[in-house]
Structure 1
Amino acid sequence: MVTSDQYLDTILEKVGHFGKYQRFVVALFSIAIIINSAAFITFVFTTKDLNYRCQVPYCEKTPEYNPSWLQNAILITEDRPAKCERFAHLNTTGCNYSSFNRSIVEICDDYVYETKEITIVQDFNLHCDENVWKLTLIGTLNGIGQFIGLPIAGYVSDRYGRLTMLVCGMVLAGICGIIRSFTTTYVLFGIFEFLDSLFGAGAYTCGYILGVELVGPKKRVLTGILICCSYALGGVLTGAIAWSVQSWRFYLRIVCGSSVAIIFYYWIAPESVRWMLIKKKYEPVKKTLRKVAEVNGKPISERTLEELCSITETIETKYPITDLFKSWILVLRFINCSFCWITCVFVFYGLTVNSVALSDNSYLDFILTSLVEIPGYALTYILVDKVGRRIGISSSLILTSICCVVFVFIPPELYWLKLSTYLLGKFAATGAFSICYIITTEIFPTCLRHSLMASCSMFGRIGSSIAPQMPLLELFWKPLPLILFGVMSAISGVLALHFPETSNIKLPDTIQEAEEIGNPKNKMFNKYDCKCNLML
């Protein structure tokens, strides 16, 4: 029996796999994902810790971060003055060595900054080591907001539509971001950071589905790659805006104001055709497909549209996630998959967040770290079917681990070598994240696939909540975050070898079929011509 999905794909082949209308739609939702990505990571720059030092009374004729007398008044460590301590000034004129009592250290409350950057450090007085946790907590609130927002977004998109979820989510997130730019207290800032990520949590998934599903089957995988790359471009955009503005309030208004502009999509962007078919909204389905055919210059008959809408779907039986426990093979596979998700998300976002501390030019480092994701997605698309999922994800994680550990031992003066090693690690982490997504869609049965994918993704949010806390670990030992990235990647890389190989196999429909994946005695699940869609 032909399903509506299969018949819709047949129609898309006739009206054009990737015609003018599809290109317009893909561009439209790619822009939305770029904006969503840029807004999601704003906490990296709004909470950025700055280089500053104590203001020294009697010596500060003009504010200068590194005057000639500085080493007389403040302890210098690793070419940086202490941020919050200074030597006691004697009752003498001048700022030479003998003007200070170096045996008495004072805590200061006025500061001189190296650059003109403005973050919440100045506006909310979050100086010194005892306030670092307040800066890192904002990123964790962002991750918690996603953790809670994802299931809510899934419910709203299933009930009211993908486009409705995308528009409402991004507009509400944008409003919260704009309000956040006017806050005058740390608590209010944190509350609206949480609400921002809560509302915007499902925007990427909805934008991805809307961008891909009107494209014909032959171009769907490539389209998925392009949309993934647009997420990376969002990181580049937010880094460029932060670099040019260097004021957290104006930075938020620009980025979050763009999110509010997505409200116009409600009138210019199409709703999900597949969702409308499920909800039996047949007239909007016909209107959308007529528009596709008209813009692409391809004919489509009313009879074809009527046949599509007349197909009666067999409602797939839904199984509770507790059915997973009927198979210990799948339980162990789920545990391994969940740990892999936590690791991939933790390392991926950890390397992104940590990039602003690589050198004095944090903006350039962040932009390069975002740009390197693009070849990561592209190479995954090219190689994932050639080398296999299991070897692909394991080797990517091991390479990430090696890069993170090697980075620690490269001396600071070899900046470009350190940066290249770091970027190679982010490149490998991007590949691992992509393949992790593919494996999760292929190793579980149809009856449990959606719920287990959602569960693994939820566990992944644990990684994105922990990643912003890495600057706290640097207070104990500076290389500790990179060492932790390396250790977790290595462990997950070894455990990934226990995944069954899923290249060129039929996707399992039942628990028994899922258990048979990788069994050399079962020919059905070892030789099957199948091309899996990346990130679908």
Structure 2
Amino acid sequence: MGDHNSDIMDFDSILDEIGEFGKFQFTNYMLVCLPVFFAAANSLSYVFTAAIPNYRCLVPDCDTDTEYYEDWVSIAVPGKTIKDNFVPLQCQRYQRNYSVIAPEWGAECNKEMFTTEIERCSEWIFDEGERTIVNDWLITCPENQWKLALVGTAHFAGIVVGSGAFGVLADKYGRKLIFIVCTVIMSITGVIQALSTNYEIFTLFGFLNAVGTSGVFPLAFIIGVEMVGKTKRDITGIVLNYFYALGEAAVGLIAWLCQDWVSIQLIVSAPPIVFIIYYWMIPESVRWLLAKKRNRKAEKIVKKAAKVNGVQLSDNILSTFEDSPNDSDNNLLQTPLKTQKVKPDMWEMIKEVFRSKVMIVRGLILFYNWATCAFVFYGLSLNSVNLIGNKYLNFTLVSLIEIPGYSMAWYAMNKIGRRLSLSGSLFLCGITCIGGAFVSEEAAWLTIILFLIGKMGITSSFGVIYVYSAEMLPTLIRSGGVGSMSTFARLGALIAPFVPLLNYIHPAIPLLLFGLVSVIGGFFILFLPETMGRKLPDTVAEAENLSENKLVRDVEMNNSNTPKR
């Protein structure tokens, strides 16, 4: 019975029989991808719900209705001309010359009615073509723009809170249940956010919406990876990222069509409530069920998978299930027999890592680059609406470019290695962003092209760094290490919403900032070892000895205090 139980813990051997990615897995994988589409839409909807619409000062003697575009605006409100279009300042106007009588009703204002002195205003005319929270709650003028940036920061703070909590809960209560709970939280809080009556409620439920959203993608990833064979795991991760990119792009298209923040938020958050039916539609992770000794439920799912995939289970697998113990709620938190081994003290290994200058230097480089990837990735998405041209189209293109970005990452890191793929992607992003900062306004098309290439580069970097970091860490701290780096990356994401405010100083500053931090990151990556094709390190000593490049290895070993074994 012990042998049988050991066999059943190896789910990969079961997949060899039922198929690594058969019809059963494909159908359920597609189902878990759908909430990811909406999770992406919820994650970036605030780019448009909290966007700055066109508005200008109300001119009392001239404005007889709520029309934003008037022929006389340029003589009453200071501004600048961009491509033959006059863009008025938002919070300033020329002082009224009261020695000149106001025109009769229906007549246009004239230049003599105003002096050259500029004054602040407290009433505004909004472009009726777009409605955001700025219109409804008068979050106007530069001194209040931090409130709009805070909406994004609150979102990423919610992701930090949720991503850690839901991972633990999914290990304890199951992937499917927590995945559905996250999706429902995302939907309900998003709808409440759409019905908010003030800025504070909107921001609070934006935070709670992010808490729910934070669990959707990683749990979908885990469910997908755990249901397929080892040769199909790469493609499940890539396709999931494709759905995420499509969800981001959908926000741009929805905002383009609606241009009303309440409608946008309802469209992206209300539909996911239907995914509550997944409780009866998709199966729990068989790997998790076996790990928790819920063998009868695992057997039922495996038999169904075999039937749908059109295969017959072998007598060996069937007898293994028959001889396995029945489900027991008392055993749900027990460790499976396969993993009940005496393990080295994890804390001792952590201490050993901190005694190694090699590991500390590598860790600092990786932590910096994780933060850089998140900062630049989200920063470019948020800043895309400030590019010249149609902001909805620009945002959609910047989102869709992630698809070739992730594809490039998958191809490059398996052809030229992890180190050069990550460094090259960061350099590509950095150089194109810096170049885009110096392009004149007349060549806006070139700025957009460079911007898109930069986003593709940082997307590729994000795709590589997950794998690269995991392959560089010892086994006992691999999961926790990557989790810590991912959490640290959120610090970069927390700062990203404030970067567009730098446009008030100079429009080139955001791109220069994104470019510089990317180039610095790409340079530091060159001092790390290549991990492609190398055995995953089990100990700190093995991790230290990953370096094959003599220059890199000499630099690291000369700084190491850890005895080599």
TM-score range, shorter chain: over 0.9
Q: Which amino acid aligns with 1:171?
A: V
Correspondence for 1:149: 162
Distance in 1 between residues matched to 2:143 and 2:136, nearest whole Å: 16
Whether 2:22 is the aligned partner of 1:19: answer yes
Q: Which amino acid aligns with 1:50?
A: P
How far apart are residue 501 of structure 1 and its match? 0.3
Equivalent of residue 294 in structure 2, options 260, 277, 281: 281
Whether 2:355 is the aligned partner of 1:348: answer no
Correspondence for 2:363: 334
Structure 1 pair 402–5 and aligned structure 2 pair: CA distance change class (3 A): farther
Correspondence for 1:234: 247
Correspondence for 1:53: 56
Could you give the per-residue CA deviations for residues 11-53 of structure 1, whole angstroms, max 9, x where no partner exists? 2122122221111011111111111111111111111111211
Correspondence for 1:31: 34
**Does the aligned pair in 2 maintain the 1:397–1:490 contact within 8 Å?**
yes
Corresponding pairs, count: 520
1:391-406 equivalences under 5 Å are: 391-406=420-435
How far apart are residue 246 of structure 1 and its match? 1.4
Could you give the per-residue CA deviations for residues 479-501 of structure 1, whole angstroms, max 9, x where no partner exists? 11111101100110100111110
How far apart are residue 115 of structure 1 and its match? 4.7
Distance in 1 between residues matched to 2:6 and 2:487, nearest whole Å: 30
Distance in 1 between residues matched to 2:224 and 2:208, nearest whole Å: 26
Structure 1 pair 305–357 and aligned structure 2 pair: CA distance change class (3 A): farther
Could you give the per-residue CA deviations for residues 343-395 of structure 1, whole angstroms, max 9, x where no partner exists? 01110111111111113421111110110000111122122121111111111
Correspondence for 2:102: 93
Correspondence for 1:106: 119
Structure 1 pair 326–302 and aligned structure 2 pair: CA distance change class (3 A): farther
Unaligned ranges ≥5, structure 2: 104-108, 326-335, 551-565
Could you give the per-residue CA deviations for residues 435-475 of structure 1, whole angstroms, max 9, x where no partner exists? 11111110001011011011000101111111111122222
Equivalent of residue 375 in structure 1, options 404, 410, 413: 404
Whether 2:340 is the aligned partner of 1:315: answer yes
Distance in 1 between residues matched to 2:407 and 2:76, nearest whole Å: 53
Correspondence for 1:82: 89
How far apart are residue 183 of structure 1 and its match? 1.2
Structure 1 pair 520–408 and aligned structure 2 pair: CA distance change class (3 A): closer
Distance in 2 between residues matched to 1:520 and 1:58, nearest whole Å: 74
| Greater displacement, 105-114 / 270-279 | 105-114
Structure 1 pair 27–478 and aligned structure 2 pair: CA distance change class (3 A): same
Distance in 1 between residues matched to 2:269 and 2:71, nearest whole Å: 42
Could you give the per-residue CA deviations for residues 56-84 of structure 1, whole angstroms, max 9, x where no partner exists? 12222343333221111011224411101
Equivalent of residue 442 in structure 1, options 471, 490, 500: 471
Distance in 1 between residues matched to 2:176 and 2:476, nearest whole Å: 26
Distance in 1 between residues matched to 2:6 and 2:272, nearest whole Å: 36
SS at match of 1:280: coil
Correspondence for 1:364: 393
Distance in 1 between residues matched to 2:428 and 2:549, nearest whole Å: 29
Distance in 2 between residues matched to 1:279 and 1:256, nearest whole Å: 33
Could you give the per-residue CA deviations for residues 290-342 of structure 1, whole angstroms, max 9, x where no partner exists? 11111111111464045365783123636134442132211221111111100
**Does the aligned pair in 2 maintain the 1:163–1:266 contact within 8 Å?**
yes
Distance in 2 between residues matched to 1:262 and 1:464, nearest whole Å: 28
Structure 1 pair 286–6 and aligned structure 2 pair: CA distance change class (3 A): closer
Aligned residues: percent identity? 37
Correspondence for 1:491: 520
Provide the alpha-carbon RMSD of the alignment: 1.9
Which structure has the larger Rg? 2
Distance in 1 between residues matched to 2:385 and 2:448, nearest whole Å: 12
Equivalent of residue 415 in structure 1, options 437, 444, 452: 444
SS at match of 1:456: helix
Q: Which amino acid aligns with 1:86?
A: R
Distance in 1 between residues matched to 2:71 and 2:191, nearest whole Å: 42
**Does the aligned pair in 1 maintain the 2:432–2:451 contact within 8 Å?**
yes
Correspondence for 1:479: 508
Whether 2:506 is the aligned partner of 1:506: answer no
**Does the aligned pair in 1 maintain the 2:529–2:549 contact within 8 Å?**
no
Correspondence for 2:129: 116
**Does the aligned pair in 1 maintain the 2:55–2:90 contact within 8 Å?**
yes
Distance in 1 between residues matched to 2:373 and 2:413, nearest whole Å: 17
Could you give the per-residue CA deviations for residues 138-177 of structure 1, whole angstroms, max 9, x where no partner exists? 1001111111221111111111111111111121122111
**Displacement over 4 Å in runs of 4+:** 1-6, 308-311
Correspondence for 2:148: 135
Distance in 1 between residues matched to 2:6 and 2:546, nearest whole Å: 26
Correspondence for 1:530: none
SS at match of 1:498: coil
How far apart are residue 520 of structure 1 and its match? 6.5
Q: Which amino acid aligns with 2:113?
A: S
Equivalent of residue 196 in structure 1, options 199, 204, 209: 209
Distance in 2 between residues matched to 1:3 and 1:217, nearest whole Å: 19
SS at match of 1:116: coil
Correspondence for 1:164: 177
Q: Which amino acid aligns with 2:35?
A: A
Correspondence for 1:217: 230
**Does the aligned pair in 2 maintain the 1:26–1:212 contact within 8 Å?**
no
How far apart are residue 107 of structure 1 and its match? 2.1
SS at match of 1:202: helix
**Does the aligned pair in 2 maintain the 1:170–1:200 contact within 8 Å?**
yes
Correspondence for 1:387: 416
**Does the aligned pair in 1 maintain the 2:8–2:290 contact within 8 Å?**
no
Correspondence for 2:558: none
Structure 1 pair 227–14 and aligned structure 2 pair: CA distance change class (3 A): same
Distance in 2 between residues matched to 1:3 and 1:115, nearest whole Å: 67
Q: Which amino acid aligns with 1:47?
A: A
Equivalent of residue 207 in structure 1, options 204, 220, 223: 220
SS at match of 2:10: helix
Correspondence for 1:533: none
TM-score, normalised via structure 2 length: 0.88
Distance in 2 between residues matched to 1:205 and 1:4, nearest whole Å: 28
**Does the aligned pair in 2 maintain the 1:5–1:274 contact within 8 Å?**
no
Distance in 1 between residues matched to 2:276 and 2:444, nearest whole Å: 44
Correspondence for 1:457: 486
Equivalent of residue 73 in structure 2, options 60, 67, 70: 70
**Does the aligned pair in 2 maintain the 1:163–1:272 contact within 8 Å?**
yes
Distance in 2 between residues matched to 1:302 and 1:164, nearest whole Å: 32
